[in-house]
Amino acid sequence: MLVVAAVALMLGESPADRHRVQAAEDAAAVERARGVLEERAEAFPEGSETRERLEELAASLDARSLEDSLEAIAALEAELNATVGRGLDSAMAATDGLNASLQAQPLPGANPSQSAAEQLAAAGAAAASMSADERAELAERLERLAATQVAAPEVAAALRDAAAAAASGDPSAMSGALGAASEAVASNTESLATRAAARAGASATSAARAAAANPAQG
């Protein structure tokens, strides 16, 4: 530090000059981070929670120091990562597999253009018109589908319940269980979308921190 100070004095740079230079560098770093947050926020749909969080954070940086800005960015990143949780990729793969299977071979009363949740609801509505053989076949199909949903335990449980109801041959029980399975799949799909958006948001905050630290990334 003494050497740096001595060199600064030799060059005629005063402490006030150094302070101004540092302040300018800090302001530029904050601006780079803000720019990244604003740019990444535009990738999310209008009105989405993640977009609003990123935009709000970006706007708040104008009144923050570099240190406070980095702390705020890191705090949002930690919150978003907590929302992502574990096993997102495997859960998404399980859901994609379920949809692909049902598109290739729709459930009774459903059609390939419908989502998994919609097909389960349609099958429930058609329960009363199914023959005994169709119900038995559906029960086996639902059991097989449940086995593919290890990464989505609530969906797996709902599909097993629907399989048991189909095996019982009771149309009313089938309709109710298939409706519940439809709701479980829809809820899981929504949850996965939220987690995926949070992961993308966390990536945006990470990029903002990197931009603040490295002028070349601004």
Q: What is the DSSP string of 83-96?
A: HH-S-HHHHHHHHH
Q: Which residue has the tokens 């023959």?
A: 131
Domain check: are 95 and 181 in the same one? yes
Same domain (yes/no): 27, 99: no
Residues 178 and 103 in one domain: yes
Residues 94 and 151 in one domain: yes
CA angle 163, 95, 98 (to 5 degrees): 50
What are the start-end ranges of the H helices in the chain? Answer: 2-10, 15-41, 49-60, 66-84, 88-104, 116-125, 132-147, 153-168, 171-213
Work out the pLDDT band at 7, boundaries 50, 70, 90. very low
Task: For residue 8, tell me if it sits in a domain.
Answer: no
Nearest Cα neighbor of 185 from 144, 149, 133, 140 is: 149
Give the span between the Cα atoms of 167 and 101, in whole angstroms.
21
Chain centroid to Cα 12, Å, comes to 54
State the pLDDT confidence band at 12, using cuts at 50, 70 and 90: low
Question: 6 lies in a domain?
Answer: no
- Examine the domain organization and report whether 106 and 137 are in the same domain: yes
Q: Kindly state whether residue 62 falls inside one of the protein's structural domains.
A: yes
135 plus 212 within the same structural domain:
no
In a domain? residue 99 = yes
93 and 181 belong to one structural domain? yes
Residue 4: is its pLDDT beyond 50?
no
Decide if 182 is inside a domain.
yes
What pLDDT digit, counting tens, does each position of 14-64 carry?
788 888 888 889 899 999 999 999 999 999 999 999 999 999 999 999 999
Check whether residue 61 and residue 94 sit in a common domain: no
Assign residue 48 a region: left if phi > 0, alpha if psi is -120 to 50, beta otherwise?
Answer: beta
User: Does any domain span residue 10?
Assistant: no
The tally of domains found in the chain comes to 2
- Which tokens in the block code for residue 9? 């004095």
Q: What is the pLDDT of residues 67-100, one digit of tens each?
A: 999 999 999 999 999 999 999 999 999 999 999 9
Please tell me whether residues 94 and 190 are part of one structural domain.
Answer: yes
Give this prediction's pTM: 0.85
Q: Is 131 within a domain?
A: yes
In a shared domain, residues 180 and 114: yes
**Are both 92 and 184 inside the same structural domain?**
yes
d(CA 30, CA 62): 8
Q: What is the DSSP string of 131-171?
A: -HHHHHHHHHHHHHHHHT-TT-HHHHHHHHHHHHHHHHT-H
User: Same domain for 187 and 208?
Assistant: no
Domain of residue 78, residue span: 16-85+199-217
